[in-house]
Amino acid sequence: NTKEIHGALQGTQQQHTSYQNKQPTPICQAPKKLQQTLQICNSMFPETTINTTLTRIARNIKNQTAKNQHIKNCIERRYQNFQNNTSKMIKSILKKYTDPVILHNIRTHDNIITEPDEIKTAIQEHFKNWTKLNPTQTELWQEWANEYKPIQTIDSTWYDTTTTEIILTELENIIKEAPNTKATGPSKISNEMLKHLGPQAKLM
């Protein structure tokens, strides 16, 4: 991840500098060969064909200009994030984002809510009631009381070692025996990465 972030930051700076230094070529400086080409086209093709061709060329130029402007805006925004909002910059590089939940309507048992303010209120009320206090039904407790009593056949000393501090040798053996090429899970830390930990990292 560090190399990926470093490379992206360098690329952003280079792209920003390139766009800052790049100057567009004025249309008035177009080569004379283009004018000659248009004259030849006028003599070879009907006027409608020329108009259609020019319209298509103009549309392509406009689309390309809009695309270039969009790219420039994205580079500028990333550069500004690099300067003023590094956390957003890193999230963008690592593609870490959360899609917002947008509800256009809520259907109840007798109504459909479409107003944004009413939707927010309905959501708040739903989670407020969903997490409300659920008291124990004391009249049914006697039926389950025996199920929650300690089991006499379990020796409490069996669990004494669960709170024993893990020594470094034990940790190294577990890491050494861990299989490779396994899914990392939410932590994104693979067994191969753990096997390359230094002594200082293992003590942490």
pLDDT in tens, the chain (204 residues): 555 555 555 555 555 555 445 544 444 444 555 556 656 655 655 555 556 777 788 788 888 888 989 998 888 888 888 788 878 777 777 777 777 778 888 888 888 888 888 888 888 888 887 776 777 777 788 888 888 888 889 888 888 888 888 888 888 899 899 999 888 888 888 889 888 888 888 777
Q: Are residues 81 and 112 in the same domain?
A: no
Same domain assignment for residues 104 and 89: no
- Structural domain for 119, as ranges: 99-131
58 and 103 in one domain? no
Query: What is the distance between the alpha carbons of residues 37 and 31, in angstroms, rounded to a whole number?
Result: 10
112 found inside a domain:
yes
